[in-house]
């Protein structure tokens, strides 16, 4: 039994090693993906192109505008003279935000009436708009507070000092500077592993079907389980190699901390890989050509990444979709990855994730083994 499995392992490794494209695709694209995500995947907004329409021309309005320009969040590209330009600029995508200060702004402030500033946003990119709006709010609030403090200082210095304020002290744990790459690099590791393992496994079997060797193997005394084990062990080893490569790039290049135990990381990865191998095997049982396998794997990969919490928080999804995420192995694995890299938590916290991945692996591998018969039908 082990002899036959061993034959397969040797053969798969020779084939992968001899194929220059396979060798390339095992090393270069994963590293490129991690680097792209490490640098490009960023929720934060900086230098939002902004247009200003100041119809008040007061000291106050200029002060407010200066604060926007100095914040770093906005880049004031255009100072406008008329309202009509705002629509043109936003339509063309020249600016994403326009701030309009109406005549009488300074006067309202001085009279201690509410003074209004209008903010026009390009809502097509709702995420950027929302975050930019938050910064607009923050700057306007700060301006108002400073203005009031100056005013109070002038008319009643004692009262100004005793006016109570709520001070917010931010202490983000695990990621002190709230850097998005610390969130994305472990996530990318998970998604790269999933895509690689699933497609490699599915393609490796479907390719044998295409060239006819699968038929030849089926007439040998090999057992279906031996075939499955022999065919998947090489990709399991390759996936562990990927894990090591991407982890090293993440830790050394992107300064992702490794606070937890490497043993837990490897154990969790093994469970995850087994589940994904099962999916790859299932894909190979329903595909006759590599093209079909490609299409079918995309049906799985896209929703699996969307529902995993890779980019979008699961807690904001509708209840039905939240339930669906429990069928997604990447969901559990991402918790394990972020838990071990960033939080340094152990099995006492992570065991539910391990249970989820184990259940997924058992079910997919069992179904794949049951579906894989040594017949052509």
Partner 1 sequence: MNSTPLDRDGAGAGEVSVAVQDLVKRFGAFTAVDHVTFSTRKGEVFGFLGPNGSGKSTTIRILCGLLRPTSGRAVVAGFDVASDPESVRRRIGYMSQKFSLYNDLTVLENLRFYGGLYGVTGARLSQRINWALRMAGLHGREDSRTATLSGGWKQRLALGCAVLHRPPIVFLDEPTSGVDPLSRRQFWELIQQMAEEGVTVFVSTHYMDEAEYCNRLALLMRGRLIALGAPSELKLGAVQGDLMLLETDSLQRAIEAVRKLPQVRDAAVFGNALHLVVAGAADANQPIRAALAAARAHVLRLEVIRPSLEDAFVALTASAAAAEPIR
Q: Which residues bind partner 1 (CB under 8 A)?
A: 3-4, 6-7, 10-11, 14-15, 18-19, 211-213, 215-222, 374-377
Do 37 and 188 contact (CB within 8 A), yes or no? yes
CB of 217 to partner 1, least distance (A): 7
CB of 228 to partner 1, least distance (A): 14
- Determine how β-strand 97-101 pairs with β-strand 48-54: parallel
CB of 277 to partner 1, least distance (A): 21
CB of 215 to partner 1, least distance (A): 6
Nearer to partner 1, 3 or 164 (CB): 3
Nearer to partner 1, 153 or 220 (CB): 220
CB of 214 to partner 1, least distance (A): 8
Nearer to partner 1, 219 or 319 (CB): 219
Nearer to partner 1, 144 or 216 (CB): 216
Nearer to partner 1, 178 or 225 (CB): 225
CB of 16 to partner 1, least distance (A): 10
CB of 229 to partner 1, least distance (A): 14
CB of 281 to partner 1, least distance (A): 19
CA angle 285, 4, 6 (to 5 degrees): 100
Nearer to partner 1, 31 or 218 (CB): 218
Do 289 and 310 contact (CB within 8 A), yes or no? no
Nearer to partner 1, 209 or 338 (CB): 209
Structure token pair of residue 112: 């201690």
Nearer to partner 1, 162 or 375 (CB): 375
Nearer to partner 1, 3 or 318 (CB): 3
CB of 227 to partner 1, least distance (A): 9
Nearer to partner 1, 126 or 216 (CB): 216
Written in H, E and C, the secondary structure of the chain is CHHHHHHHHHHHHHHHHHCHHHHHHHHHHHHHHHHHHHHHCCCCCCCEEEEEEECCCCHHHHHHHHHHHHCCCEEEEEEECCCHHHHHHHHHCCCCEEEEECCCHHHHHHCCCCCCEEEEECCCCHHHHHHHHHHHHHHHHHHHHHHHHHHHHHHCHHHHHHCCCCCCCCCCCCCCCCCHHHHHHHHHHHHHHHHHHHHHHHHHHHHHHHHCHHHHHHCCCCCHHHHHHHHHHHHHHHHHHHHHHHHHHHHHCCCCCCCCCHHHHHHHHHHHHHHHHHHHHHHHHHCCCHHHHHHHHHHHHHHHHHCCCCCCCHHHCCHHHHHHHCCCHHHHHHHHHHHHHHHCCCHHHHHHHHHHHHHHHHHHHHHHHHHCCCCCC
CB of 2 to partner 1, least distance (A): 11
Kindly give, in sequence order, each residue whose CB lies less than 8 Å from that of residue 3, ignoring residues fewer than 6 positions away.
none
Distance between CA atoms of 23 and 44, rounded to whole angstroms? 36
Q: Which residue is listed with tokens 């979709």? A: 321
């Amino acid at each position: 039994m082990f002899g036959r499995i061993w034959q397969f392992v040797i053969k798969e490794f020779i084939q992968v090693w001899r194929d220059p494209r396979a060798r390339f695709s095992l090393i270069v694209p994963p590293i490129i993906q991690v680097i792209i995500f490490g640098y490009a995947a960023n929720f934060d907004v900086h230098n939002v192109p902004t247009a200003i329409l100041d119809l008040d021309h007061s000291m106050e309005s200029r002060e407010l505008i200066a604060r926007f320009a100095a914040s770093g969040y906005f880049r004031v590209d255009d100072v406008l003279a008329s309202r009509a330009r705002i629509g043109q600029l936003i339509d063309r995508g020249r600016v994403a935000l326009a701030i309009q200060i109406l005549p009488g702004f300074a006067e309202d402030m001085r009279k201690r009436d509410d003074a209004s500033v209008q903010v026009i946003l390009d809502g097509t990119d709702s995420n950027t708009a929302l975050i930019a709006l938050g910064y607009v709010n923050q700057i306007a609030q700060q301006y108002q507070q400073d203005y009031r403090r100056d005013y109070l200082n002038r008319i009643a210095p004692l009262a100004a000092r005793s006016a109570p304020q709520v001070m917010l002290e931010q202490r983000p744990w695990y990621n002190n500077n709230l850097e998005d790459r610390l969130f994305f690099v472990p996530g990318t590791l998970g998604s790269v592993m999933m895509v690689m393992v699933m497609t490699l496994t599915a393609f490796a079997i479907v390719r044998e079907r295409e060239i006819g060797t699968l038929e030849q193997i089926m007439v040998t005394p090999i057992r279906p389980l031996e075939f499955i084990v022999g065919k998947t062990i090489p990709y399991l080893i390759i996936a562990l190699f990927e894990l090591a490569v991407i982890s090293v790039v993440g830790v050394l290049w992107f300064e992702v901390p490794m606070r937890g135990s490497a043993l837990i990381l490897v154990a969790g990865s093994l469970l995850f890989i087994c589940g994904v191998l099962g999916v790859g095997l299932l894909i190979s049982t329903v595909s006759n050509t590599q093209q079909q396998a490609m299409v079918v794997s995309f049906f799985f990969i896209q929703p699996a990444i969307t529902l995993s919490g890779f980019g979008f928080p699961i807690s904001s999804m509708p209840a039905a979709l939240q339930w669906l995420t429990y069928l997604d192995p990447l969901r559990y694995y991402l918790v394990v990855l972020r838990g071990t890299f960033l939080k340094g938590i152990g099995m006492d916290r992570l065991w539910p994730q391990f249970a989820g991945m184990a259940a997924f692996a058992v079910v997919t591998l069992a179904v794949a083994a049951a579906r894989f018969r040594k017949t052509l039908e």
